[in-house]
Chains A and B, each alone.
Chain A
Amino acid sequence: MSLTPQEFEYLEKKIGRKPNPLELQIVAAEWSEHCSYKSSKKHLKILPKEGKRVISGPGYDSGVLDVGDGYVVTVHIESHNHPSAVEPYGGAATGVGGVIRDILSAGTRPIAILDGLRFGNIEQDKHALWLFKNAVRGIADYGNCLGIPTIGGEIEFDKCFTNYALVDVASIGFGKKENLIRNKAEKGDYVVLIGGSTGRDGIGGSQFASDKLEAENRSAVQIPDPFIEKLVIEVILEARNQKCIKAMKDLGGGGLSCAISETADALGVGIELDLSLVHKREQNMSPSELMVSESQERMLVVTDLKKLGTLKKICEKFRVPYSVIGKVKNDNLMEVKLDKNTIAKLPSPIVANAPLLDRPSSKPKYLHNIEKIKKPKTPKNLSQTLLRMLSNPNIASKQWVYTQYDHEVGIRTVVKPGSDGSVLRLDNGKFLAAKIDGNSKHCYINPRDGVIGCFDEACRNVVCTGAKPIGMVDHLQFGNPEDPEIFWTFKESVQAITDYAKYFEIPCVGGKVSLYNETDKGPIKPTPLIGVLGLIERKPLIPQKIEDGDLLVMLGTTKDELGGSEYYEYIHDLVGGKCPAVDMKSSKKTQDAVLDLIEKDMVKVAHDCSKGGLAVAISKLCITNNIGCTVSLEKIPSEKLHHDELIFSESHSRFLLVIKPEDEKKTMSILKQSGIIHARVGIFSGKDIVFQEKSSAVVRVRVDKAQEKWLNSLGALVTHG
């Protein structure tokens, strides 16, 4: 793995000479797809990044949003797919560590983690089950030790992830605007490496992640140490409080090569460092190993002579190793020395900015016929079908996972995992809602409608807590970009996210691209992930206990959109059909109406209707409240559909609202005025979940039976195989 002949030629021309082998290693690490975004960068420019709350600055590794009263929220998302597919425990754990340091880099304290996990079919594939279990344990052990709550996420199982894993981690930070790191440096400032020692782990990790997964390259996987990370967090925040940090960057993909070249480039300065000064874990490490090692828990800090002593004292208090490895210069060069002898000298703007590519793209052939399918027969016993749907690992409760994550530490978690969106309280009396959503099944059938659906779903989840979306992050995960058909799905997704973000005026404050997600069996389905943050000015909607006689109101229309649905894929093993499409205009109106009703205290519970359709969404309300519900199918606003289609369609922009009977009149009149399609479709009572048509039951399932399936299936599968 190194540079292509064209890149080599470009480099030679730019520096006017042949690079030496070390220089070549440095450039190869930085010009890897993982670090340079050379395939994607041109296309990402269309995403809307401006907004009234967005604060941007040079060299920020995370998005920064102003939440008022002098406070900011930061957010970032990363994945650790290749390492997790080889070594799920360490891969997932270091995935958490990496994104946490991006939040720290801005000068904010990480206050929450969300993770999106994807594996093969764990019901049939023991290897997928092993990957799943160990990735969860890796995240738990790392996040719990740091004392940063994992407040939410999502999990999907699909055959396309066989022998592979997608481990996405988003993190949220919080702090004072005045404490944001300014990222400025001057000649003579010191460059300090703080944290874990540099060893031979994660060598070439960024290049490993920029190719398809062929061999198990364990040395490319980084080793986690959450204890050091915790100490590094406290060192950095104390150093921030004592104004010791002029600029900062975390060491991630590409190790020192990337951190040095990108810092120098972003700050418009030169950096000279001596590798003999780096604190190391192993002996006899070569300069190129030191430059590309991705050993974890390391931060690069620029400080000045005045503050260097204080910074050292803080490190010593926490017994965190550090080394002063170099100095800032007023040229633009990164100069690497070993025992004072120069061994590499390159202009950082060239190293940090790989030549960008124009990849060809063409619409995948499979898309031409995927919507045309023969519809499956309606099962005779839909009650049985519903129970099977509730035990489907994609739908069943994820409590086996989130009870292993400390989601309470920090005492901010107001709406806990297992709900629609999670909500954190902030120090200024406001609340922050967060959700990430992805859906590879929808995105495979229609990359555009699929990703817009994920975006809409994440917004709906946040809206269900009473929050107004204020910013988003995206994580674009695809196969090999050199395949024009895959690259087309990437471009299509970016355009779709842009369109939705512009229409809803939600700025994109960060993101990540992960390509080459494939094994020798082929690429993954397109799997873009959308994270949405929402702000609640007054008070969040904490789901209230549903009582006998409460009413169920449904907003939005149910359509013949079962392509990529859990019903088609899990029950009928059918991939195809028309996947749900969002009507942005009506979705926006519906979201606004839900927020309005919540603001007026008319809603006991607001619940999004997505995976598994309304049958699953209503069952979940019954299960978590231990109460039955009778739903009249003829009242559900819909196209003309068969019973199975009606209850399992995954059409977007639908909400379920639980209201008190005495609020019915007022609620309906508000909804009528706002011109939204809505209906009162059911009443909560008794011990059965019933879907009936003209008083004859189409589905009747006892709540306790549904509970048993939904609550225990995933845990039982993991424990007993």
Chain B
Amino acid sequence: MTPKFKAQAGTFESSDIMILIEPLEKDSGRKVDISSTVMLQFEADIKATINKVLDTLQVKDLHLIAKDKGALTQTIEARVETAVKRSLGIQEGTM
């Protein structure tokens, strides 16, 4: 699947993560940008978690921007899933 809309999920609160998704042109693949307050400690982990959700949902041609304030893995998974579903137009929400 490929995203149809710009979408977001999450907040900038501590222990949460803000996920923004932008559709990209066909065959552009997947671009993920991460910034985090715990980058030094958990960069690889955050990246792996986000990619795992994107793999599971089988989405491509998107730019995902993650701004993390120390969210736990489950929170990251939920925020990414919600943002993806909003961008696909299969879940209601902001943007």
Interaction A to B: no
By a beta-carbon cutoff of 8 Å, the part of chain B in contact with chain A is none
